[in-house]
């Protein structure tokens, strides 16, 4: 993504193919005509910021004016009520994905974590354990390379790699396109491994049943309060790499307490892909979810 | 986070509204951003200016209304004020507080011509 304008044209790749439509810069002009054109990246900043903070003695206050009472200016401007979430477009794609999952009894999980938490290794072990029990496919999100999808395919499971280019998260539109390329059987499990990032993926609904946050014990126990949005958005936290606890000063109870400060309803499972700790509990959690999705799909 | 993607989402909502409601320029965009939402208002302002350049919303004033954080304290069985997702209940000190308000980021209304 261009850091001046956010333009990410041509950056998103789904299994190595460029994904370019709807990535132009379309504009509606005053006469109603629409066109798409490139824009300059020379760093110019053509207009002044129209909005400036009210400056008090000790603070800058940006939220001037009473809440919910914006009045139109003196001229003939009229007010148009929008009342929509800023992510309404993404949410509409997510709702479409969710309908597809529901109709087909598919249990979809969105795995989110920092880079290096052990998501892919845990996923590989999970696939091996579920083999023959549940059909499973994977959507892998990374900025670059298809290494993770190749690791998944080596297990025999289907995997589609989405490269977000400079993008920092998967969105529901990308996932919708990846679904077209997957031949996922009905009543299966779809694991979406998001881009390793504890910030942005929190806000983007992909149509999943649950976000599953993976926190490894080699990270700090205070990550849930440093990056609260992600732990608030998740329904389950896997505390991973627990086999390393004897070598670390990581305080498990404190980490769980911090996570539940942000999200009192968060479920927690201690896992280790290496020792197998917690794997049965995690597999049982998936199996229960998949059974509920299958049941709902029959209705 | 990703304020650029949010700014693009806001512009798409404006362009949709322009098609449906037949306006040709936008003076003011009024947003409601919860104090506990994952949006940094200053970063969003910067991105909004960049994204709306040459668009129907070019030069529009972005007015951001903060909505206060709110949560449900399970111990007090009451709605309480919160500033951050990890805040304790201001009355009983418990962390059993589930956020119920102030996490939204909405386009509320537009002033248009």
Quote the ipTM score. Answer: 0.79
- Residue B88 DSSP class: P
Q: How many structural domains are present in chain A?
A: 1
Contacts of B66 in chain A (CB under 8 A): 63, 67
Q: Which structural domain range is residue A288 located in?
A: 105-298
pLDDT tens digits for range A73-111: 445 578 888 888 888 889 999 999 999 999 999 999 999
The pLDDT of residue A14 is: 82
pLDDT in tens, chain B (113 residues): 578 889 999 999 999 999 999 999 999 999 999 999 988 888 899 999 989 999 999 999 999 999 999 999 999 999 999 999 999 999 999 999 999 999 999 999 999 99
A252-256 long-range contacts (CB < 8 A, ≥24 apart) are: A252/A217, A252/A221, A254/A221, A254/A222, A255/A215, A255/A217, A255/A221, A255/A222, A255/A223, A255/A224
| Interface touch B13/A84, C-beta < 8 Å | yes
The answer to whether position A5 is within a domain reads no
CA distance A235 to A267: 6
Instruction: Give residue limits of the domains in chain B.
Output: 3-68+102-112
Residues of chain B found within 8 Å of residue A6, distances taken between Cβ atoms: 4-5, 7-8, 47, 50-51
For residue A121, being part of any structural domain is answered with yes
With respect to CATH, is domain B3-68+102-112 assigned 1.20.1260.10? no
Per-residue pLDDT reduced to its tens digit, A215-228: 999 999 999 999 99
Residues in B closer than 8 angstroms to A67, CB to CB, are 65-67
pLDDT at A18: 75
> Residue A174 sits in a domain of what CATH number?
3.40.50.300
Taking the CA of residue B91 and the nearest CA in chain A, the distance in Å comes to 15
| pLDDT 10s digits, A105-156 | 999 999 999 999 999 999 999 999 999 999 999 999 999 999 999 999 999 9
Mean per-residue pLDDT, A262-278: 97
**pTM to 2 decimals?**
0.79
């Amino acid at each position: 993504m261009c850091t001046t304008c956010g333009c990410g044209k041509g950056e998103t790749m789904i299994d190595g193919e460029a994904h370019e439509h709807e990535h132009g810069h379309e504009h509606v002009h005053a006469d109603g005509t629409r066109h798409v054109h490139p824009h300059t990246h020379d760093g110019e900043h053509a207009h002044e910021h129209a909005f400036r903070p009210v400056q008090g003695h000790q603070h800058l206050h940006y939220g001037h004016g009473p809440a919910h009472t914006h009045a139109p200016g003196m001229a003939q401007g009229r007010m148009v009520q929008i009342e929509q979430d800023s992510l309404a477009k993404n949410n509409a794609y997510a709702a479409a994905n969710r309908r597809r999952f529901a109709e087909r009894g598919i249990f979809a999980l969105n795995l989110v974590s920092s880079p290096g938490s052990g998501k892919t290794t845990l996923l590989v072990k999970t696939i091996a354990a579920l083999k023959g029990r549940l059909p499973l496919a994977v959507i892998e999100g990374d900025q670059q390379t298809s290494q993770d999808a190749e690791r998944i395919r080596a297990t025999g499971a289907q995997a589609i790699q989405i490269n977000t280019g400079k993008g920092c998260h998967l969105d529901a539109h990308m996932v919708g396109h990846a679904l077209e390329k997957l031949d996922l059987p009905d009543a299966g499990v779809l694991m979406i491994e998001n881009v390793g990032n504890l910030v942005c993926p929190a806000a983007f609904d992909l149509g999943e049943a649950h976000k599953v946050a993976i926190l490894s014990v080699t990270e700090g126990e205070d990550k849930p309060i440093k990056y609260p949005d992600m732990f608030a958005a998740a329904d389950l936290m896997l505390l991973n790499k627990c086999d390393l606890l004897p070598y670390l000063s990581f305080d498990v109870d404190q980490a769980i307490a911090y996570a539940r400060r942000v999200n009192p309803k968060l479920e927690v499972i201690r896992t280790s892909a290496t020792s197998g700790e917690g794997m049965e509990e995690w597999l049982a959690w998936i199996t229960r979810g998949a059974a509920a999705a299958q049941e709902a799909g029959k209705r | 986070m990703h304020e650029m993607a949010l700014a693009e989402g806001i512009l798409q909502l404006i362009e949709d509204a322009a098609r449906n409601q037949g306006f040709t320029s936008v003076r003011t965009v009024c947003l409601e951003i919860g104090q506990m939402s994952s949006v940094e208002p200053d970063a969003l302002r910067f991105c909004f200016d960049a994204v709306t350049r040459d668009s129907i919303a070019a030069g529009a004033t972005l007015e951001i209304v903060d909505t206060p954080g709110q949560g449900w304290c399970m111990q007090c069985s009451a709605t309480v004020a919160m500033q951050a997702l990890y805040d304790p209940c201001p009355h009983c000190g418990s962390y059993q507080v589930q956020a119920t308000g102030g996490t939204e980021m909405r386009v509320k209304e537009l002033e248009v011509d």
